[in-house]
Structure 1
Amino acid sequence: MDNSSLEWSGDGNASLRTELQSCATLRNQVSRIFLYAFLSAGIVSTVVGNFLVVLSIAYFKQLQSPTNSFILSLAVADCLVGLLVMPYSMIRTVEGCWYFGFLFCKLHSSLDVMLCTASIFHLSCIAFDRYYAVCNPLVYSLKMSPGRVALLIAVCWAVPMLISFAPIMLNLHIADTDIQIPEDVCLFLVSRIYAVMASLVAFYLPMAVMLVAYWKIFKAAKRQAKQISAMESQMAAGVGKDSSKKKIHRNTMKREGKAAKTLGIIMGVFLIFWMPFFTVNIVDPFIEYSTEVVVWDVFLWLGYINSSLNPFLYVFFNSCFRRAFLMFIGCKVCLPGISPGMELSHSRKERKKQICHNSQLSESYSPSV
């Protein structure tokens, strides 16, 4: 989502009007080059990383599961953020001007709100899906049937579209505000009502879903780790190993630590990168839009960075995705033995044996010349 601010009172009013009318960047050439390079790297990372997620799930059958359907749709939303939103936001941030017209400014703002909100909605659906998979595995296939997964994905796109395009294109988001903005400046100002309602729907409600789901997942993982340790203790007692208790305790701590680390990273990154923006988004209309523009730019790009980190958070924790990524990056998908139905969970040695075995089979059944 993009936003900016206006200091619309006292002496700041005159200085701001002068700045808006001149629409001239205050950055020197060196800082502009650095910002273009840095932000362009973030854009490329966002597009490439999420595109690899889409390719991996679309190509390998093992990755086509209900959870990965959410990840696929999430990757599409984040990839569109990198393609349709971030490049124009980069030019506006670096140059300080908007060169694409008033109508495209509204369209860009609508896409920004919709795609970023869709990304956050998908994150909450993934947490919801993992909650049923870990805490209620017996009813998981019933609760997460293909029809319900498709319905949840449709909601993840429909609700963000309703709170973005309709209010922004009809100027409902600036109701009861009396601020005139030049056409060569693209500022996304919102009224108090829209700021509160949109922030609640787009961030705070999904955040609550994620917090509750991941907290219950952590408790379930901790309970399962203790149950596994108890079973291992009984088995070790039958064998009669003296050091079994210490080993089992270490394994238990390792399992609990891994679960806490994974969930902590996921929630921590989400909160760190989106909480500042949505907090200021609600506060700013109540303090007469006095937040500095540079603050908005920093918080805005923190939210964008979350879209580039999602492939790493939700994919690189999975060894199957890592192997799929490496195959696409190394152009190995065209090699003999690499097929959409191959087993990605095999180790590297097992996979080499499988490829060698497949090639031997193909040679043995190939007709002799």
Structure 2
Amino acid sequence: MEQQFNANTSLQIELQSCTTSRNQISRIFLYAFLSVGIICTVVGNFLVVLSIAYFKQLQSPTNSFVMSLAVADCLVGLVVMPYSMIRTVEGCWYFGSLFCQLHSSLDVMLCTASIFHLSCIAFDRYYAVCNPLVYSLKMSPSRVALLIAVCWAVPMLISFGPIMLDLHVADVDILLPQDVCVFLVSRIYAVMASLVAFYLPMAIMLVAYWKIFKAAKRQARQISALESQMAAGVGKDSSKKKKHRNTMRRERKAAKTLGIIMGVFLLFWMPFFTVNIVDPFIDYSTEVVVWDIFLWLGYINSSLNPFLYGFFNRSFRRAFLMFMGCRKGWKMCKARLEDAT
């Protein structure tokens, strides 16, 4: 108990000094670097929202999740990342304790909503690939709307309620000064919130994408076998080799796509949520710079989502190019997309 009191006291003394040790050049560099990330997050996700809202050809159950995901990520870039940037670079919080709570609530809610949407996209793709005959029934408009509502409601419940009522620090005996905004949480909240916000969606994504990969592999082999049978009368060994190469190409493409999606998600969010659970059990001794690095890694995931779920799609790419390069009016752009699809 005495050791814990000393650890808490030393932490409180450390947090009372919010002066930054960075020189002017490093601060300018950080502001420029992080500002580029914020702009990419906002612009990229806004393009996704604009494309789906304007072009009817892009309006589908899967893209409903993608659009809602882009809204969450765009809000991360608009209302969360700018204040986090100032806190990271300056080392101080200039906006008061009440806004610190509000900012922390928005941070937890929007990042959790983003992760929830990723798991819903995995769930949607699982039914589209593994159970295509019941896909329209399972992913009806009403069910899609319900899942999107859950993606927003649950993060709001685990963020605004506990944080604004100080329930997340019920067992934490550390008083933070007005010019410091550090998100300290109790052990119970750290474990429960991390399980709900990250580890449960991660498990859903891993199971769904593993089954999708197995189904895609099986379908590629079935297609190859069917093509071989159709060409059996005239096919030569070279034809069989070509079909085999096509099968292997499909399998590699599926593995690459799913590997990138899961790899990016785990790479950018796993460090933060691991430290988030561990930190309360080591008397909050994690360095502030470690928190900042892992937190911004999570923010970067919101910047990359438009590329992973939008820019890799041919129809999205055409829509983006039309928005950025078409000079003869929206109607002509729309007509060109209709012809392309």
User: With structure 2 as the length reference, what TM-score do the two structures score?
Assistant: 0.96
One-letter amino acid matched to 2:210: W
Query: Does 1:275 pair with 2:270?
Result: yes
Q: Hey, what does 1:119 align to over in structure 2?
A: 114
How far does the alpha carbon of each residue in 1:223-242 deviate from its partner, in whole angstroms, 9 at most, with x for none?
A: 00000000111122122333
Structure 1 residues 54-65: aligned runs within 5 Å: 54-65=49-60
Letter paired with 1:55: L
CA offset at residue 251 of structure 1?
Answer: 0.3
| Residues 176-325 of structure 1 mapped to structure 2, 5 A cutoff | 176-325=171-320
Name the residue aligned to 1:49.
44
SS of the equivalent of 2:236 reads coil
User: Which residue of 167, 170, 173 maps to 1:175?
Assistant: 170
CA contact (8 A) 2:326 2:333 kept: no
Alignment partners' CA distance in 2, 1:189 and 1:114:
16
Q: Could you say which residue in structure 1 is the equivalent of 2:22? A: 27
In the TM superposition, what whole-angstrom CA distance separates every residue of 1:274-332 from its partner, at most 9, and x where no partner exists? 00000000000000001111000000000000000000001122100000011111144
Q: Is the 8 A contact 2:318 2:337 kept in 1?
A: no
Residues 54-80 of structure 1: CA distance to partner in whole angstroms, max 9, x if unpaired? 000001111000000000000000000
Q: Identity over the aligned pairs, expressed in percent?
A: 83
Q: What SS is found at the alignment partner of 1:84?
A: helix
Q: C-alpha distance in 2, partners of 1:29/1:200? A: 40
Inter-partner Cα distance in structure 1 for 2:339 and 2:50: 15
Structure having the higher Rg: 1
Partner of 1:357: none
Structure number with the bigger relative contact order (C-alpha 8 A, sep ≥ 6) is 1
Given candidates 69, 73, 76, the residue that maps to 1:78 is 73
The answer (yes or no) to whether the contact 1:8–1:289 under 8 Å persists in 2 is no
Q: 2:146 aligns to what?
A: 151
Indicate the RMSD between aligned Cα atoms, in angstroms.
1.7
SS in 1 for 2:181: coil
Contact 1:333–1:339, Cα closer than 8 Å, also in 2: no
Check whether the contact 1:60–1:341 (CA below 8 A) recurs between aligned residues. Answer: no
Aligned length: 339
CA–CA separation in structure 2 for the residues paired with 1:214 and 1:48: 28
Are the equivalent residues in 1 in contact too, given 2:72–2:111 (CA < 8 A)?
Answer: yes
Q: Name the CA shift for 1:208/1:11 in 2 (closer, same or farther; >3 Å).
A: closer
For 1:186, the aligned partner's letter is C
TM-score (norm 1): 0.89
Could you say what secondary structure the match of 1:238 adopts?
Answer: coil
Question: SS in structure 2 opposite 1:243?
Answer: helix
Distance of 1:13 and 1:176 partners within structure 2: 15
Quote the Cα distance in structure 2 between the aligned partners of 1:295 and 1:8.
21
- Give the aligned partner of residue 4 of structure 1: none
Residue 334 (structure 2) aligns with = 339
Of the three residues 323, 328, 336, the one matched with 2:323 is: 328
Q: Which amino acid aligns with 1:121?
A: F
